[in-house]
Amino acid sequence: MNARALFAVSLVFLCTPSLRANDHPDNAPRASTPSVNQQASPGIMDPSQMSPRQVAELRGDILMAEKDYEGAVKMYVAILATDRADAHLLNKLGVACEQLNETRQAEHYFKQSMKADKTFVSPVNNLGTLEYSKGNYGKAIQYYKKAVKLRDDLGAVYSNLGYAYFGKKDYVEAMTSFQKAIAVDPEVFSHHGGAGSILQQRSATDPGLFYFLVAKTYAEGGDAEQAAHYLKLARDSYYKDFLSAEKDPAFAKVINDPRVQEVLVVPPSYAGNRKTMQN
């Protein structure tokens, strides 16, 4: 691959979100590996101006974009042999291992990345995501809070924190975190992931209730479109109390919007009428 072609592929990898094979088409929170979100990384360079080491890392990044995680691991490990203190490279290795469900190796590399650069937020967040996947919500919260202290402008981290509070059934704190996530990135729950270094959680213990809380969060901010979208997902995920939105003060700003009313009025396919839903 010549330098121009390599540069073109690098632009696609670094700038284009990718839909993972196990992502739900409607962003459903399901038991799957997290998606990856972009975080500020070193600037894109023309490969013709790169060192052999930089070109090798870029090839590893391209393998990641192509979902050849085993190939990426081999490439990164080879580079690591001569550069053991590169926090970004160590974190990339952790992400690649996580994608291969090699949790222990992922944890090792994330911790090495933290050690190499104590100001780098990605491995801190990613360790939280590993703890979340094991059901250790308290530990996950600790990591996510530490990540927020390092960077308070990443919607994915606030979203992850909200997921962890949701896992602990602390719904008040979950909504507070979701509000912060939306304030930073209004479409934070719609991202499927892309090239980068931040793992974003997509798995919730109770999808119906999760969607309802997200709908409430958007509703409180006056976003009728997103409120209706997630209220519909709550309804279609068999959340039996979704009609409580009609009297919930959190929905006051959007309750009369036609899109929200349509979700409340039109019964889902699994219910014969509104009375059935209320029972």
Give the pLDDT confidence of 201-247 residue by residue, as tens digits: 888 889 999 999 999 999 999 999 999 999 999 999 999 898 999 99
pLDDT over 70 percentage in the chain: 77
**pLDDT at residue 73 tops 60:** yes
| pLDDT level of residue 143 (50, 70, 90 thresholds) | very high
Nearest residue to 77 via CA among 62, 58, 92? 92
Q: What angle do CA 128, 107, 145 make, to 5 degrees?
A: 20
In DSSP terms, which residues pair with 35 in a beta bridge?
A: 200
Quote the CA–CA distance of 237 and 209 in Å, as a whole number: 9
What's the rounded Cα separation, in Å, for the pair 122 and 113? 9
What sections of 117-170 are H helices per DSSP?
Answer: 121-133, 137-150, 155-167
Whether the model pTM is above 0.85: no
On the question of pLDDT at 40 being above 90, the answer is no
Q: What's 188's DSSP letter?
A: G
pLDDT at residue 24 in the model: 30
Q: Which residues contact 171 (CB under 8 A, 6 or more apart)?
A: 165, 209, 213
Q: Residues 120, 146: contact at Cβ < 8 Å?
A: no
Q: Where are the domains of the chain?
A: 3-157, 209-278
Which one of 4-13, 35-44, 125-134, 261-270 scores highest in mean pLDDT? 125-134
Out of 3-17, 190-204, 225-239, 244-258, least confident range:
3-17
**Of 53 and 14, which is predicted with more confidence?**
53
State the Cα angle at 155 between 249 and 103, rounded to 5°. 120
- Looking at residue 195, its pLDDT comes to 37
Q: Which residues pair with 200 in a beta bridge?
A: 35
Which pLDDT does position 48 carry in this prediction?
A: 75
Cα(76)–Cα(99) distance, rounded to whole angstroms?
14
CATH number, span 3-157: 1.25.40.10
Q: Is the pLDDT of residue 45 over 70?
A: no
Per-residue confidence (pLDDT) for residue 124, from 0 to 100:
97
The first and second tokens of residue 23, run together, are 């992502």
Give Cα separations from 275 to 237, 265, 271 (angstroms).
18, 11, 9
Question: In the prediction, which pLDDT does 44 show?
Answer: 58
- What tens digit of pLDDT does each residue of 86-98 get? 999 999 999 999 9
